[in-house]
Structure formats: C-alpha cells, structure tokens
Amino acid sequence: MAKDQDTTPAKSKAEGPRTPTGGWHPFWDLRQEIENLFDEFYSGNALAPFRRSRAPGADQTASGLAMSATAPQWDVIDKEDEIKIVADLPGMAEADIDVQVTDSTLTLSGEKKEETEEGDKEGDYYVCERRFGSFRRSLRLPEGIDRDKIDARFNNGVLTVHLPKKPEAQHPSRKIEVKAAK
C-alpha cells in the first residue's frame, strides 16, 4: 500500500449505546441502570421496591431478579392510610392462593391445576388438556406497615391485599396557600 493512500475504516451497521456527547461506550447502559437504581434508593419513595426495571424488554423486578412468566401482574397503590396491592389471578381458586408475611417480606404464592376433558370417556379422547402452573412473588415491605393488620381478600379472580400504615407512618397532606410576594 502506498504511503500517500488514505484508508477509511469500514462502517458497521450494528452500533452500541451512544453517550450524551455522541460517542459510543460499551458500559453506557450499565452506568445508566446503576444511576437509576441509586436515584430510586435515595428518592425516599416507599414504592421504589415495587417498581420494575425500565430497561426495554426486561422481565425483571427492580431488584434485578427474573420474574416467572406465570407470576401475577399487580398494581401497588400508595394511599394515605395504607398500601394496597391488587393482583390478577384469573382461573385461580381461593384455596390455591397463599399470602404470608415473614419479617419484612410479603409473599404471594399459588398453584393452578386445570384439566379439561371432552369426548367419550369410554372411547378415544377427542381433547384432553391439562394446565399446571405455580407462582411465587415476594416484595419487601416498606417501613411503617402494621403487619398485624394486613388483610387479603379474593373475589372473581382478583386478590386485594391491604397493608395498613401505622399512624406515625401516615403523612396527611394539606393545601398550602400561595400568596403574592410583597
């Protein structure tokens, strides 16, 4: 190759994450995720342990633990006097659901067994389906929950768990009047 020839590197179509300055760095996504975890930790938000990872396509809890495909989806609502968890458990029976509190952890677990048979029981089966699955989902309780008053109700495939707050953990809000400056 002649010394006066200029070479240009080949461009790749697959590019990695871009930094704010426009360059590429292989650890940029990792850095962003770590910063997000610290932001949640220091935000003082009682619901931070319930959030999921914001990474696109991630099926993980905020703690980074993989979540089973059969684990129920839930809503966590922070109210003034309680935290309410609403979990969808379609096709489950009350007897197949277990809610336990140990130390500072609430655990929902259950097992679904379903069997469908169609056709003549004496002859050949046309259809015989079985579906089995179990789930277990745990979360850390925030400070100030009255563990002795936790209540769980199951109705029409929806489990509602009430986590009452202790009086000292309740922060009633009040409206602050905005006045014109003098």
Tell which phi-psi region holds residue 4, choosing left (phi > 0), alpha (psi between -120 and 50) or beta: alpha
- pLDDT tens by residue, 99-134: 999 888 999 999 887 766 666 666 666 666 776 788
Q: For all residues of the chain together, what is the average pLDDT?
A: 74
For 130, the token pair is 């079985």
Q: What is the CATH number of domain 47-169?
A: 2.60.40.790
Q: Name the strand (E) or helix (H) holding 30.
A: helix 28-42
Determine if the pTM surpasses 0.85. no
Contact 65, 57 (CB under 8 A): no
Dihedral class, residue 157 (left if φ above 0, else alpha if ψ from -120 to 50, else beta): left
Residue 41 has a pLDDT of 58
Contact 99, 107 (CB under 8 A): yes
Give me the residue spans of the domains in the chain.
Answer: 47-169
Per-residue confidence (pLDDT) for residue 56, from 0 to 100? 40
